[in-house]
Structure 1
């Protein structure tokens, strides 16, 4: 009897260990990714890990990944996309800079109107609705929400829900639109292993410097910068090994899913906030698809949809890479929009408050 109790206590202590829970979660997420890959789902490791980690969290299991997993995934995703930046690609981006800025600003304006609808139908205060509706990064919007006295919990939930919905909708929709085929814009070689290891290793100190300087999304930007630098130095486009992009998908998908915890959702599930946030996200997606259709003379529609979708840089860039849809263009477009959101959110919020008060 005593031995049995001791064994149960030992097993309980083992499975309560954060390291063991993390290992089990990652193993389950990997299994989900492998299953999705077998089913030929686009972004299989990201979507598989997202479903598994979200299912664990919503079922009541205490799932949490250290920030280093998400940051490592962002570095790998940024570096992988940065390798496609060659001088001709850079010139093309400069030519389209005005269109990137215009569509990014248009997306922000649409979000202002959607914020009013979210406040009304989601039954939340207008401050929270504003930061929840802005198509920026979760961390940046949560910080601004706290600064201006909005609910950081609701803003974080809405921002997480937006990215998850976009990841669940856009990649499969683009795969169906393209007939399940990957566009091969150009055949490129795989980056040499020593350059890959050196580049990824250098990303870490660069990211930490950017983080210390309070630059938004420092780990993704460090990966992009080092990947671009590598492509420009070797003067040819290359691609990262599939293992690197799969690991990036796995880390980012698992981190996204871990944002949905039952205890956090339980306080909001009885309110209309989450359905209203989902509806405004769908409307924002529709608006940006319309912008992509209007810009079809400058960029193909599938690429334009990914570039203008109000999702995350890493998620949309990985989708573009998986489908062969100009990853540098998508990454640059997403970057311009999020920069616009970060720079304009403060002034626009003050204008929004004045208009709402009237």
Structure 2
């Protein structure tokens, strides 16, 4: 009695319409107020804060179904279309230096490991919480190595929030602003081909089991098309803002009162090592800019422990080289995906050998 008949699929839960509406309204309010205040990336940062504050106030909000994927698709497409042929040639010219910089940014993981280990965090959790990689991939590796997945997810979510709140503001307000460039007009027939093609690339990337399909698929396709054909395209403003808003609402759903009440010492240590890593990344980017003979601001931005989508969009809004910023982030992501587990296993093997000698 009470068992579902054989052969019948379990019933799906109906969408939480009131929760979705609350999230939509909170995100719209936050994005609109941030745009009035003149914030950088207002519809992403404002909607993130709006949803997060609503959840911290006890308001039940539910993310839009597939909202994060749709937001990544639109934002990644916008970032990819900013990659011009000239920027792609500069990227190829500086590729060895960018690869060296991506390896150097991996060393920033040592800051997080040191800070978290002093707080009594176990080695696996400290390692995967400190790597500048995607949260979902690091959580999967944390589960595989008996770490604390909730703490790893919290560390990556909090660091992303910190980067989104500080980095665009510092680069937009704390440094000299460049003269505004005239934005290219949207070419609707070309966009009608590229946007669905980017969606298909995301689905193919996901089918192949690759990391971050909804961001890397559209970004790479649009960047290759824009650079090789010298398209000079851009998404219309409303479509780009829609992508920012969808992504910001999805990110804000990670935060509530329980998140900030959970292990306050751990959260403080995550904030400390995130700030230290950002300072170290800024110094590294400045050094790369000197070695490259220019592009100092773009290389500083690309060295930050954020994500390709968020920092690429920041670069586009500040008229910096989107190609250099995205390339730094992409190279680092690939290195993290390839080396995270071997590096962890090697570190634990060395620690085990040292403890046996002692």
Given that 1:116 and 1:130 are in contact with CA atoms closer than 8 Å, whether structure 2 keeps it comes out as no
Aligned to 1:144: 141
Bigger mean CA offset, 293-302 vs 333-342: 293-302
Residue correspondence of structure 1 range 179-258 to structure 2 within 5 A: 179=176, 181-184=177-180, 187-232=182-227, 234-258=229-253
Given that 1:303 and 1:330 are in contact with CA atoms closer than 8 Å, whether structure 2 keeps it comes out as yes
Aligned residues: 338
Distance in 2, matches of 1:183 and 1:278, equals 34
Aligned to 2:50: 52
2:164 to 160, 167, 188: 167
The SS at the match of 2:110 is helix
Q: CA RMSD in A?
A: 1.9
* Cα distance, 1:206 vs structure 2: 2.0
Distance in 1, matches of 2:179 and 2:117, equals 41
- 1:338 to 2:333 alignment: yes
Instruction: Provide closer, same or farther for how the CA distance between residues 193 and 215 of structure 1 changes in structure 2, counting only shifts above 3 A.
Output: same
* Cα distance, 1:116 vs structure 2: 2.6
List alignment gaps of at least 5 residues for structure 1: 1-15
* Cα distance, 1:288 vs structure 2: 0.5
Bigger mean CA offset, 109-118 vs 240-249: 109-118
Distance in 2, matches of 1:232 and 1:133, equals 34
Aligned to 1:35: 33
* Cα distance, 1:125 vs structure 2: 0.7
Aligned to 1:275: 268
Distance in 2, matches of 1:65 and 1:33, equals 15
Distance in 1, matches of 2:234 and 2:175, equals 22
Instruction: Provide closer, same or farther for how the CA distance between residues 170 and 208 of structure 1 changes in structure 2, counting only shifts above 3 A.
Output: same
Given that 1:188 and 1:237 are in contact with CA atoms closer than 8 Å, whether structure 2 keeps it comes out as no
List alignment gaps of at least 5 residues for structure 2: 1-13
Distance in 1, matches of 2:179 and 2:328, equals 19
Instruction: Provide closer, same or farther for how the CA distance between residues 290 and 85 of structure 1 changes in structure 2, counting only shifts above 3 A.
Output: same
- 1:303 to 2:298 alignment: yes
Given that 2:111 and 2:277 are in contact with CA atoms closer than 8 Å, whether structure 1 keeps it comes out as no
Deviations 1:4-42 (A, max 9, x none): xxxxxxxxxxxx961232133122212211111111111
Distance in 2, matches of 1:294 and 1:302, equals 11
